[in-house]
Chains A and B, each alone.
Chain A
Amino acid sequence: MKRSELNFLEPRRQAQAAIAIFIYKFVVRILRAAWPILLVFLFRSNKEQSNTELLMNATVVIGGLFSLGVSVVAYFRYFFHLEEDQLVIQKGVFNRSLTKLPFERIQNLYIEQNVLHRLLGVVSLRVDSAGSSGHEVTIDALEREDAEAMRAYVLEQKQEEAQERSGLGPEASERSAPLAQSIVLRLTFEDLLRIGVTQNHLATAGVIVGTVFGFLFTVAGAFEQDLVKTLIERWPMLQPGFWGFLILATLLFVVAFFLTLIRTVTQHYDLQFFESRDGFQLKAGLFNRREASMQKRKIQLIRWTDNPLRRLLGLFRVSIHQAISGSERVAEQISIPGCKQAQVNDLVHSSFEGSAEAEFRGHCISKAYFIWYIRFMLLPAVVFGALGYLLQEPRFALPAVGFPVLGGLYLWAYQQRFRLWLSPEYLKTSEGVLGRTVTLLPVYKVQSVRIRQSFFQRRRALASVELYTAGGSVRVPFLPLDLARALQDYVLYRVESRREDWM
């Protein structure tokens, strides 16, 4: 495409339909945040408004009008254009920002259209830059031909750049024909039941309790009636007392158990995991069939986890992390429940070349970890102890003693079992008290290193190290400062001294 044909070289606004889309987004946001208030507004029994209510409603209305104004102004202050080798976006109502996105950082451009876009006859252009969440670039409203022209132009520029760099013809890059795949793992219905049974049911129970209470309180709060209280009074099962509690707890557990089981089976139904020379592919799901694929060279880190029940069956959940852009695409991570140790090893070794031969040296974390965190366990103990003493209530002794004892045991076990394994090319951590989580990553995948030191750690010459990759991070708490610094220096040296395709 000739550059002269493009009219994106000067800063320009989006199609005017963008105003409608901004307003639509704003309305959705309002509805999501304020639905209880609106519900009350519509279904209130007495039409008299108290002062507080009036204030609240006025706040909502003013806030709404204000944000509406902001959405409209935002349209007029949003400019984009293409420069020689980058996409430039200027925007912002209060805080102006200028984003420059070099073409070589752009992974792909997607033209998308939802119902509203279709009504207005425009499209949105999403630019995937493998950047951070919240900093992805989406141009909300463009004429379709403009979007297509822009997309074609950027991709063409990218390809030219790539060819100049590699000195290869265009056919070389497109030759990657699909290679033969071999199936690595397939889960039968029986496997799924086994995995479902060994899931963390307590977590599901927690989610159920949270959701039910959250819903009741929102609704009760909105109608200014003590709905929860009425509910409790009417249901004999909810009366305080040992039997009521037991029945409720059993019921909750049974519901949680079956919910996790059903979810596991539907989510991983007929899971098939393939491997080819360059990558992996996963297919699974009963209702929503997911298909995820991943290139081996894009894998950032691999993590495998067990829990006490899984340990009995020798099963692990393996998750393979690649560069994510934005939180909503976490689904692109591949996660496989029910792998045997041998399968885990095969997977790791075929993803990370040479990791099978790597010689690791283990390091422990400092006992000061226990000393620092036990303080936070003592705090609730003191509070419960004081309350028990003041109220003359001996039952408070249970949490007062339980917190530090159980918490202390946990901390102690965590500190004892934590290991950092280092080899020249790979880094591995192993952590966990009841279960164990192992994380393995090639050192050169690291994209930023952070050393943290609290005042407590500084006095003892200790430090915590955080290593971030494009697919997830690893945190090693309470290392000796010398080791932490040597690790940081080495990782940076390894990353900076060679140029490798890392993402």
Chain B
Amino acid sequence: MSIEELPSVAGVEWQGLNQAYLRVDLIGLWLFRLGVLGVFLAYTFFVEGFPPVVRWSIAGLWVFLLLLTTVLRYLGFRIKGYAVRQHDLMYRRGLLFRSVTVVPFTRIQHSEVEQGVIERQFGLSSLSVFTAGGSQSDLVIPGLKREDAERIRNFLSQKVAADEEE
């Protein structure tokens, strides 16, 4: 078998994340960043003699960065996607810094379906796949419909169990 005949990762068909996840992602981002801004502003008002110029320029910069991040997340959303192939699970992300991670089913230790507070409002879940050793090689696919996440998780458990029996 030559290199050209190997199943190639390059031509895979990506499944996009659920459209509602973009909102989940942005709400989370805004809540967190505005929360930090609120604490900062409260602090500067509390401390006497904090120069207003410094206060507002930091706040302005913060908001500008927030808007910039929002645009990047918005554009990056369509890059995010996953693929379930015959023997492995893939996840792609990153607009400026793209990464494609592949985890073979035979190397999966266990998997979890998780739901954050905001995700729950939209009926979404995240699927986490854990491998052995350090956490760097773990995979998290966010923005899945609850039932999709459960379905993939069950599929993975079956695959893992079937592999064990072979």
| Interface, chain A (partner B; CB < 8 A) | 51-52, 55, 85, 94-102, 104-105, 129-135, 161, 165, 300, 323-325, 327, 446-455, 458, 466, 468-473, 485-486, 488-490, 492-493, 495-496, 499, 502-503
Contact = CB atoms under 8 A, between A and B. Distances in A.
A325 B133 contact: yes
B106 to A, nearest CB: 7
B130 A447 contact: no
Given A94-B117, A488-B9, A470 B131 contact: yes
Contacts of B111: 100
B135 A134 contact: yes
Contact of A454 (B96, B100, B107, B116): B96
The size bracket of the interface on B is 35 or more
Contacts, number: 155
Contacts of B117: 94-95
Interface of B: 3, 6-10, 46-47, 87-88, 94, 96-107, 109-117, 130-139, 157, 160-161, 163-166
Contact of B88 (A100, A458, A492): A492
Given A102-B160, A469-B133, A447 B107 contact: yes
Main secondary structure of the interface of B (DSSP, over half): mixed
B110 A129 contact: yes
12 contacts: A52-B47, A104-B161, A132-B133, A446-B107, A450-B101, A450-B137, A470-B133, A472-B134, A485-B8, A489-B3, A496-B105, A499-B166
B9 A452 contact: no
A496 B106 contact: yes
B134 A133 contact: yes
A448 B114 contact: no
Contacts of B10: 485
A460 B139 CA distance: 27
A503 B103 contact: no
Contacts of B102: 448-450, 488, 492
B98 A452 contact: yes
Contacts of B94: 452
A482 to B, nearest CB: 9
A452 B99 CA distance: 4
A20 B85 CA distance: 47
